[in-house]
Amino acid sequence: MYKSIIVGTGPAGLTAAIYLARANLNPLVIEGPQPGGQLTTTTEIENFPGFPEGIMGPELMDNMRAQAERFGAKFITGWVNSVELGERPFKLNVEDMGTLETDTLIISTGATAKYLGIPGEQDNVGRGVSTCATCDGFFFRNKEIIVVGGGDSALEEAGFLTRFASKVTLVHRRNELRASKIMQDRVRDNAKVEWALNRTPLEVLAGDNGVTGLKVLNNETGEEEVIPASGVFVAIGHHPNTGFLGGQITTDANGYIVTVPGTSETNIPGVFACGDVQDTRYRQAITAAGSGCKAAMDAEKYIESLEHSAVMQ
């Protein structure tokens, strides 16, 4: 039986763990298959306050975890299959661990990378198709590769991959990019980056040794083209990791958890959400951390109300 359990260990979950641990609430933090969340797959982070020279994503997450552990947060690695939120204490069914019970639950499970859903894509994951430049960029040294997407993440991946590739072609289905101007300027100044805008991906092409190229539709001419490449990196966004909740928490049309404006509160008292799992707009490390702080403080206040009610009775 725990006073608070946090599911997820990105900047939101780890910040919540720091705050709850410092409040002597001894939170249990459940790590999934990717401890540290998306930042463990990013390169240098330049916009997190306090690091004028930048910091690598994995290093930032390791520091935040160590800080939470210093104050008494406990970590376990497991997969939450389902939850029972109809009454308190809430119950979590954790694979290979059985049932855990808690007075409060903080959901910070983040979001997972989306795929294009085109032929040849899933068949070649690990054979040239990837959603993580920092994980797999090294394997494409001196090779031509493709990045699909038009947001900041896609441009960041393209810029990073130029460290290894001989050429990076950025493919986007529109003529205009969604990325911030500073990211666009940075990548456009990189001589290794070429542009294939207004082209819709149709199929990942591959041979015996893996990916050989990407078939696209030129939206201007209506003709199909093949862009040769040894790797295709997909950077088109994410979907929230809320499937394990079984529809017990109110979400929007895209599956993101809906919270009471200005708070981390969900439709169930005692259950809170923070980070990208409830953020459809900002999706930044610093906003995730801030929402983790809010979730911890909301949970602490809720626990205090429970204790007060118990004393009154």
| pLDDT tens-digit readout, 219-238 | 999 999 999 999 999 999 88
The answer, yes or no, to whether the previous bond of 52 is cis (omega within 30 of 0) is: no
Report the range of poorest mean pLDDT among 27-41, 181-195, 262-276, 283-297.
Answer: 27-41
Domain-ending residue, one of 184, 218, 234: 234
Instruction: For residue 38, give the nearest of 284, 256, 264, 236 by alpha carbon.
Output: 284
Of the listed 123, 135, 185, 252, which one is catalytic? 135
Same domain membership, residue 200 and residue 166? yes
Q: Which amino acid is at 202?
A: L
Instruction: For residue 74, give the nearest of 9, 136, 123 by alpha carbon.
Output: 9
Same domain membership, residue 248 and residue 106? yes
Of the listed 136, 276, 279, 298, which one is catalytic? 136
Place of tokens 């859903």: 117
Same domain membership, residue 222 and residue 120? yes
Supply the CATH number for residue 180's domain: 3.50.50.60
Per-residue model confidence (pLDDT) at position 137: 86
For residue 132, indicate whether it is catalytic: yes
Same domain membership, residue 242 and residue 108? yes
Domain-ending residue, one of 234, 261, 279: 234
Confidence grade of residue 39 (pLDDT, cut at 50, 70, 90): confident
Q: Percent of the chain at pLDDT above 70? A: 97
Encoding tokens for residue 148? Answer: 């699909």
Q: Is the pLDDT reported for residue 312 higher than 70?
A: no
Helix ranges (DSSP H) in the chain:
11-22, 57-70, 133-136, 152-161, 181-188, 285-312
Total structural domains in the chain?
2
Separation between Cα atoms, residue 113 and residue 241, nearest integer Å = 10
Per-residue model confidence (pLDDT) at position 280: 83
Separation between Cα atoms, residue 213 and residue 235, nearest integer Å = 17
Same domain membership, residue 19 and residue 75? yes
Confidence grade of residue 308 (pLDDT, cut at 50, 70, 90): confident
Q: Is the pLDDT reported for residue 309 higher than 80?
A: no
| pLDDT tens-digit readout, 150-197 | 988 899 899 999 999 999 999 999 998 988 888 899 898 999 999 999
- Contact between 100 and 2 under an 8 Å Cβ cutoff? The reply is yes
239 bridge partner residues:
112
Per-residue model confidence (pLDDT) at position 220: 94
| pLDDT tens-digit readout, 5-38 | 999 999 999 999 999 999 999 999 999 877 777 7
Same domain membership, residue 55 and residue 199? no
Same domain membership, residue 76 and residue 18? yes
Mean pLDDT of the chain: 92
Residues in Cβ contact with 173 at an 8 Å cutoff, skipping those fewer than 6 apart: 150, 198, 199, 200, 201, 219
Per-residue model confidence (pLDDT) at position 241: 94
In terms of residue numbers, what domain contains 79?
2-112+238-312
Strands of the sheet containing 193-197, edge to edge, are 129-130, 231-234, 144-148, 167-172, 193-197
Structure pTM? 0.76
Per-residue model confidence (pLDDT) at position 284: 84
For residue 136, indicate whether it is catalytic: yes
Per-residue model confidence (pLDDT) at position 311: 66
